[in-house]
Structure 1
Amino acid sequence: MALIDRRVSRRFSTTATGGADDEVTHEVEEDATVEEIRIRFYPGPLLDLELRPFVETDEGRRRDLVDVIGRETIVGDDDRFEFHISEDVRESDVVGVEYVNNDAQNEYDFVVDMDFERAGGSSRIIDYLRGVF
């Protein structure tokens, strides 16, 4: 497998209409590890737009991909955030971004990029160490 085939990025982007409470999702095609999440808030929401990246297993259990201390969600206004994580996901899990626009009058755009390592993800380190020891 070529190096370029191991990593893939998925973009979640939409316009959150006034008062929206929704999500954008993608079904995982093969086992992987989410290794980075980049979030872009455009100017305007003044912390009214809340984002929560998540993974939902095929058993219906949902967990956050980013631990936020002090708030339950990620908010911003003309901000960019990068989160370096290592979260395993399995084929048929659903990854996505839940969003809430607390401003009933205005709509806001956002972009969330997730990078996936498909060549064993974090388990590739364990396999490497087995070969060394």
Structure 2
Amino acid sequence: MPRNNLGQFKPGTCGNPRGRPRKLPRKIHPDLLRADFFEISETLVPIIENGRRKLIPASLAIDKQLVLKAASGNLRAILEWSKMRHRHALEHVKRQLDCMEQLLKSEDILRKFPEDVTDEYKALTRNLRAAIDADYLP
């Protein structure tokens, strides 16, 4: 690049023709984000309950705040809590139905082949029956 005898660029020329390099964005992997999210949600935070200070996970503290806001009449909090309740109830029902399906299959095997079934299998079937809520049993 042409310069004069003082080392200055001639008028109309730039000393940095390519310009400043652009800042590259950090690459964040979704698995790392998910792991960080769950790790942070288990961080203990102090709360005061019944005049006593105690430490609870951040996710539980957030849920408590959401319930308190919903109970005070905050419409957004009510809607969010309703969505969470529906999602959790649906997951519970799906788990219970899966357990019921497994229980029915195992009891069917017990009826068809009583001589081939071991005591361990019977115990597992009893444990499976015990794991199901009483509301879902026939």
TM-score between both structures, scaled by the size of structure 2: 0.18
Larger strand proportion, structure 1 or 2?
A: 1
TM-score between both structures, scaled by the size of structure 1: 0.18
Could you say which structure has the larger radius of gyration?
Answer: 2
Larger helix proportion, structure 1 or 2?
A: 2
